[in-house]
Amino acid sequence: MVKKNTCVFISGQGTNLKNLISCSRENNFPIKISLVIYNNRKANGVLYAKKFNIPYVFINTNIKNYENKVLLNLKKYNISFICLAGFMKIISNKLIKNYPNKIINIHPSLLPKFKGLNTFSRMIANNEKKAGCTVHYVNKKLDGGNRILQKIFFINSNDNESILKKKTQKLEHRAFPEAIIKVFRNI
């Protein structure tokens, strides 16, 4: 199996990155993580890239035309697929045009509900009975791309934001690899 060179974009702790690195080391997993891009200097997730000798690049996404630097690095590492794993920046149309149907994101809600930020507090305020995560293709609409996969759990009456986050991350670690396998099975 020829693995697809993949870049993971992160902004935080990198738990999904760590999980994807682990999965990518399996022979039958369709991607090889060849680059990590991060946009937050305090993103501890970059430590996983360092630990596993994966090239990583900090890109300030608050500057004009930052996409050019992103695209140069993606080209340099021959990247053909992108995973957004807690990347806290809306992907520009320029990147989407250069990687059509090649960018996926994991979101901590059952889309189309609770797009954007503060999903757990909004779930609690809305008295939701179910929560989970969604892996979807990235398009021009925030959290609006076609769904690849969803994982669901039931919310207990004593669940708070912290508990919902932990339960969701546990599901994300199953959902993201499954979605990647599904994407490449359908190509």
pLDDT score at 187: 61
Task: Give the per-residue pLDDT at 107.
Answer: 96
Which of 4, 107, 136, 151 is catalytic? The answer is 107
Which residues partner with 143 through β-bridges?
Answer: none
Q: What one-character-per-residue DSSP string does 59-88 give? A: --TTSTTHHHHHHHHHHHTT--EEEESS--
At 1 the pLDDT is 72
**Helix residue spans in the chain (DSSP H):** 15-24, 46-51, 66-76, 93-98, 119-125, 161-185
Burial of 1 (0-12, 13-18, 19+ CB in 10 A): exposed
So what's the pLDDT on residue 82?
Answer: 98
Amino acid at site 167: K
Closest to 110 in 3D by CA, of 140, 149, 157:
149
For 10, 49, 52, the CA distances from 45, given in Å and listed in that order, are 7, 7, 12
Contact 38, 7 (CB under 8 A): no
DSSP-assigned states of every residue in 82-101: EEESS--SPPPHHHHHHSTT
Does the annotation count 107 as an active-site position? yes
- Report the pLDDT averaged over residues 104-125: 94
Q: What is the average pLDDT value for the chain, to the nearest integer?
A: 95
Residue pLDDT, tens place only, 12-47: 999 999 999 999 999 999 999 999 999 999 999 999
Q: Give the tens place of pLDDT for each residue, 42-85.
A: 999 999 999 999 999 999 999 999 999 999 999 999 999 999 99
CB atoms within 10 A of CB 93: 11
Q: How are the residues of the chain apportioned to helix, strand and coil, as percentages rounded to the nearest 5?
A: 35, 25, 40
pLDDT band at residue 168 using 50, 70 and 90 as cut-offs: very high
β-bridge pairing 56-58 and 81-84: unpaired
Sheet containing strand 103-107, strands side by side: 56-58, 31-38, 4-10, 81-84, 103-107, 130-137, 147-154
Best CA proximity match to 95, nearest among 77, 72, 78, 71: 71
pTM, full prediction: 0.95
Mean pLDDT in residue range 126-130: 94
